[in-house]
Chain A
Amino acid sequence: MTLGTEPATRKGFFTDTTVCIGCKACEVACKQWNQLPDDGQFFTGMSYDNTVDLGASTWRHVAFIERPVPLFADPIPGDSDETFSWLLMSDVCKHCQRAGCLENCPTGAIVRTEFDTVFVQPDVCNGCGYCVVGCPFGVIDRREDDGRAWKCTLCYDRLKDDMEPACAKACPTNSIQFGDLDELRRRAEERVTQLHDRGIGDAYLYGADAAGQPGTEGLNAFFLLVDEPEVYNLPPDPVVPTKKAGAAWLSAAAAALGLLGAAVGAVVMGGRR
C-alpha cells in the first residue's frame, strides 16, 4: 500500500560513518522537528553515548565505539595510539525493502509511502506491538505513555514539502546523505573504492542491496562501515521474521500431516490389536 497519488522516486539515507564527527546534531534536529521527548538524563559511562539505542522517542542515535584497533594500517613505532580508534556512527531506522514491522502490522497502520519509505500512521496504530518483534534491528518501539509504536518517518512531512529530512539537513559533514536510492548507492560505492585506495581496506557497505543482505532484501537507509556489524551493534545477518513465514507454514503443515499420519496409524494399528 502506498500513500499519496503521484509516484515519486525511491528515497533513502546513505550514512557514511567515516566522516561522522559524533556531534549528535542529527539526534537533536530529529527530536526538534518531530517534537520528541527526551529519554531522561542518565550518565551511562559508555563513551559519549548517553542515549544508548534507538527507541520510541530516539529516532537517530549516535554510537561511540572505542576500540583497540587502528583505523589506518600505517603504524608509528612506539605509538600505542595506533592500536586505538573511535568509531562514530549515526544509526536510524533502515526502511527495509522487506520491512518486518510493516509485514507484522495487523491494522495496516504501517505503510510503504510513495517515497518507498516505511511509515507508521499514528492515527491508525492501536499499539498491539506486533511490529516491535518484527524488526530484526530492534528499531521500532512503543512509547510508554500512549502505547503506540513510533520510529523514524524519514521526515515524511518534510519530503512532502520537498525538503530533506531534518537529520541530513543538520549534519555538518555530510555523513548523513539523503537522496534517490540509486544515486546514493553509486556515491557509496565510489566512496568505498576511495577509502580502499587510501588504506582503509576494511570499508564496506552494510545493507546497500538485496544481494548483500538477503534477509531484508536491502535497506533504504544503508551504511558505510569499517568493522564487523556487531561492533556497531548491528546484526550481521538480519532476517525479517515474516520472510520465514512461508517456510514456517510449510513445516507446520508437514508437522500437522505427520501428526495426522501418526494418529491415523495409531488408530489403524490399535484397531488391529
Chain B
Amino acid sequence: MAECHPVGFQWVMEAKLRGATIIHVDPRFTRTSAMADLHVPIRAGTDIAFLGGIVNHILQNERYFEEYVKQYTNASAIVGEGFDDTEDLDGLFSGWDPERGQYDPTTWQYEGVEVAPAAGQREMFTGEPHSERGTRVTMQHTDPTLQHPRCVFQILKRHYARYTPEVVEDVCGVPKEMFLRVADALCENSGRERTSAFCYAVGWTQHTVGVQYIRTASIVQLLLGNIGRPGGGILALRGHASIQGSTDIPTLYNLLPGYLAMPKANFDVDLRSYIGNNESASGWWSEFPKYIVSLLKAYWGDAAREDNDWCYDHLPHLSGDHSHMNTVAEMADGKVKGYCLMGENPTVGSMHGALHREGMRKLDWLVVRDFSVTESADFWRTAPEIARGEVRAEDIETEVFFFPAAAHTEKDGSFTNTQRLLQWHHKAVEPPGECRSDLWFTYHLGRRLRELYDGSAERKDRPILDLTWEYPTKGPHQEPDAEAILKEINGYTVADGEPVSGFQDLKADGSTACGCWIYSGCYEDGVNQTARKKPWTKQDWVAPEWAWAWPANRRILYNRASADPEGRPWSERKRYVWWNGEHGRWEGFDNPDFVLDRPPDYRPEEGTTGVDTIAGNDPFIMQADGKGWLYAPNGLLDGPLPTHYEPQESVCQNPLYGQQCNPARLEWHRKDNPYHRAFGDPRFPYVITTYRLTEHHTAGAMTRWLSWLNELQPEMFCEVSPELAEEKGLANGGWATITTARGEIECRVLVTRRLRPLTIRGRQVHQIGLPYHWAGRGLSRGDPANELISFVADPNVSIQESKALTGNIEPGRRSRQRRVVTSGPLASPPPGDAHRDLPPARNKPEGRHGLSASASQLKEPTE
C-alpha cells in the first residue's frame, strides 16, 4: 500500500501513530513492510490457505464474535441435503457438470429457499430464470443454536478444519509461529471494543481464484464482527485515480451504471423478463425496476415510454463473453474489426503483450487516445517482433488513429476513490494543442454520429437517434459542461428537470430519469456535492461535508452492524449509528444504511416481499436474506466457499486436494498461449510475481516520459534473493533474462534480502519479483514483464493471473533468437504430465473455458 498508494497510506501511518498494529503479508519485503510491525513473506498464490487458516483458528478457538455471527451472518442458515464439500470430493464441490464444464449451483442453495446474491453472477440460479427468488425467504430454515450439521456454521467448520497452522506452513511457507501471531493479533483486535481492517489490491485479485481470495477475507471479517463498523471492513485499493468510478459507471462489458446487469440476448428478451431475472423479491434489490426504468429514461428521454418498454430494446444485449481476453483472442482470430483504447496501454499493462499485438495486427482500425504515443499505438512500428524481423511493418494493414488526450488538470470532472468518494476537480489550464478531454471526444463523436444517421428510418439506428444528447458546451473547443452530466447522473424529475435528492425519489413509472442510481444525490439541491471541500478540522470526525460518497453520502456501508441487535452501539468506543427509540429512527455520525424508521425488533411476517422483508437485525440489506454471507449459496461460478487451489502454473502440487487448480477457471487453449506444466515444470522452476513501484504508474504512459521520475527508477529490473543470485550466478546490477513459454525479457538484477527463499515441505522455493512499468517507448525503456504472462482467468470476473506464475531466470542478456510465442514456439513442450484437474473436471469441453479455439489456431502459425 505504501508502494502504490502512498497518499492513502498516510492514514495507515496515522493509525499506527495511535497504536494500531500493522501487518503486511506479501511475497516481498516492500516499503509497506518497512513500516509494518510484522512482515509475513508468503508464497505467491496461497492466500486462501493463509486466510483459511485464520478462519480455522477463529472457529477452533472460539474467537468469533458470537452475537454478531448469530444475528448478522448466515451462520445459522441450513443448506440443502444435496450439498457436498471439497473435503468430500477431493477438491470439487457438488454440482460439477462435466458436459458443460462448469458448476450447477442447485445443490449449494439454502434448504427450501433460493436467494439472489447482492453482487456477482446475479443471473446464475437453478433452472430457468424466474422472479420468484427470495419470495420464501421469510420461511427460511435456520438453526439459531448453530448445531445443525447442515447449517452454514458447521459446514464452515468442517471445510476449514484441515487448514491448520501446520498446513499453512506447508502451503504458504509461513512459519507456524508467525502465522499464529497474525491470527492472534486479528482476534485480539476484534470484538466489541476493537476492530481490524483488511486492505488489498490486485495482489489478491489477479489470480484464477481472485474473487475467492476476497471472499475468504469476508469470512474472517464477518466472524470477527469487523464489517459495517468504524475501523473495520475490507478495503479494495483501486489501481487508478478513478477506477472505482469506472466500475460504478462502468467501462465493463457486462454491467450498466450502478451494477445493473447488461441484458443477456438469450433470456432477457424483454423488459419484463429482464427485471424478473434481476430483481429480488426480498432485500434492497427489490427496488431494481425503479433504477432500470430511470436509467432508460435518462438514456432515451421522451422516446422512452411505457408502451415501448422504456426503449429497453435499444440496450445492447450480450450474446456471449466479451471480456478483455476473449475479445483480444477473437481479434487475433480476425473476428474483430475495430478497437478503441482510451487511456489504456494493453500491450504493456495487460497480460501477454505479444498476443495483444497479434490481435491488433488483424484489425481494420485502431483508435488510441492517450497522453503520448504508447506502445499500443505504435505496435506496428516498434514492437519486439518487428525489431527482430519476425513481422514486417509493411504487412500490417491496421489503420491507426491517435488522439492526444487532455490530462485531469486540463478538464473538469470527478474522481471516485477507493472509499466510494466522488471528488470534483476543476480545470486549471486549457489543454495544449489538439489535446481534448474524453468527455469532449465522446460527446462530439456521438453528436457527429447522430448527424450521420439523421433522417434514417431504420429501426437499428433508433438507439443513436433517440439518445438524449443535448449538453451545454463552453469555451473555444465546445467542451461539454461536466456538471450537466453530473446532474444527469444524479437524476431529475422528468416533468420539471429538477434534481432528485436521492435514489429514494426514483420511480418505475417513467416520471424520473437517473444516469446511475447509486450516485443519486451527488447533485442534490442543484449543488455539486462532490465539489465540497470543507476541511475535516472544521466538522465532525466522519467529515460528511468533504466531497460526497455513494450511496447517499454514506461513509461506511452496512453500518447498521455497528450497533447490536437491539440497536445500541456495541461499545462506546465504537459507536457509529444507533436506534433512537424516542425519535423512532436510526441516528448516528453517518447516514444509517438501513430503513430509517425500522425498529430493531421488527420481524417480517411470512410471505412479505420487497424492502419489508428486511428484519430489524438484517444489516446486509442488499442481500436477499439481509445477512452477511459466510457461505455464498449463489452468485459465484467456482463454489460457495473459498478453497485453496494452486495457480495455473505452480512449483508445488496442491497438498490439500487432488484437484490442483480452480476447476472453473477460464483457459485459452491456443498455440500462441501455451501453459507450463501444472506443477514441477523443470523448465520453469521459479515463482514469478509482478507489481508496481511508487515511482512509475501502471504501463508507464504517464511516467516514463518524465525525467524526474525516470531518474528515480531508470530501468526495468528483477528482484531476487542472494540465495537465488548465487544459485544462478546473477550479479547485482548485471543483466538477467527471464523466460516463460510465452516470451522472453531481459532486465537488470537487483539482489536484495527483501526477497527470500521460502521453505515449502523441506524444499527451497525461490520467488522472482518483476515490476511491469517498462516497454519500448518513452525516456526510460525496458522489456515489459507482462510479455511473460498467459491468458488464464478467474471465472467470475475474467481477471488474469499475473501475480503468481512460473518461469526461469538466467544471467546475461536475452538471446537474439525468437522472443515471442506468437511467431512460433519458444520452448519444447512440457515434459511428463501433471494434471490440473480431477477426471470429472479434466473432461470439460475446452469451449467452456473461454472461447473455443478454431481449427486454424490449433495449427502452427504459418510464416
Chain A positions within 8 Å of B, measured between CB atoms, are 19, 21-25, 27-28, 31-32, 37-45, 47-48, 50-51, 66, 68, 72, 76-81, 84-88, 172-174
Contact = CB atoms under 8 A, between A and B. Distances in A.
A42 B780 CA distance: 10
Given A22-B34, A81-B39, A31 B708 contact: yes
Contacts of A88: 31, 34
Given A42-B714, A86-B33, A23 B6 contact: yes
B330 to A, nearest CB: 39
Interface string B36-66: 0111010000000000000000000000000
B855 interface: no
23 contacts: A21-B9, A21-B31, A21-B32, A21-B35, A23-B6, A25-B6, A28-B709, A38-B708, A41-B714, A45-B732, A50-B713, A51-B712, A76-B175, A76-B178, A78-B175, A79-B175, A79-B178, A81-B29, A84-B753, A86-B29, A172-B7, A173-B13, A174-B13
Most buried by A among B6, B7, B779: B6
B714 to A, nearest CB: 3
Given A24-B695, A43-B748, A48-B713, A19 B35 contact: yes
10 closest A-B pairs (Cβ-Cβ)? Answer: A45-B733, A41-B714, A38-B707, A23-B6, A86-B34, A21-B2, A38-B711, A43-B715, A172-B10, A173-B13
Contacts of A84: 29, 753-754
A79 B752 CA distance: 17
Nearest to A31: B708
Given A24-B695, A172-B10, A51 B711 contact: yes
Given A28-B708, A76-B181, A79-B178, A41 B780 contact: yes
Contacts of B493: none
A43 B753 contact: no
Interface of B: 2, 6-7, 9-10, 13, 17, 29, 31-35, 37-39, 41, 175, 177-178, 181, 693-695, 707-715, 717, 732-733, 748-754, 756, 779-780
Among B711, B752, B779, find the residue whose CB has the most chain A CB atoms closer than 10 A: B711
Contacts of B714: 41-43, 50
Contacts of B41: 81
B695 A43 contact: no
Nearest to B717: A43
Nearest to B2: A21
Given A45-B733, A81-B41, A84-B753, 11 more contacts: A28-B708, A41-B780, A42-B714, A43-B714, A43-B748, A48-B713, A51-B711, A76-B177, A78-B178, A81-B756, A85-B34
Contacts of A81: 29, 39, 41, 756
Contacts of B37: 72
B246 to A, nearest CB: 24
A42 B38 CA distance: 33
A214 B6 CA distance: 37
B7 A21 contact: no
A40 B708 CA distance: 9
Given A38-B707, A81-B39, A86-B33, A21 B6 contact: yes
A47 B709 CA distance: 16
Contact of A23 (B2, B39, B181, B707): B2
Given A47-B752, A76-B175, A79-B175, A28 B9 contact: no
Contacts of A78: 175, 177-178
A23 to B, nearest CB: 4
Contacts of B33: 86
Nearest to A44: B733
Nearest to B5: A172
Contacts of B754: 66, 84, 86
Nearest to B38: A76
A19 B752 contact: no
Nearest to B694: A23
Nearest to B781: A41
B711 A41 contact: yes
Nearest to A77: B177
A28 B752 contact: no
A88 B9 CA distance: 15
Nearest to B695: A24
B181 to A, nearest CB: 6
A22 B31 contact: yes
Contacts of A48: 693, 713
B18 to A, nearest CB: 11
Nearest to B19: A198
A47 B695 CA distance: 14
A21 B177 contact: no
A47 to B, nearest CB: 7
A172 B1 CA distance: 13
B712 A50 contact: yes
A79 B177 contact: yes
A27 B709 CA distance: 9
Contacts of B752: 47, 66
Contact of B9 (A31, A66, A172): A172
A84 B752 CA distance: 11
Given A68-B753, A79-B175, A173 B10 contact: yes
Given A42-B714, A45-B748, A84-B29, A21 B34 contact: yes
A48 to B, nearest CB: 7
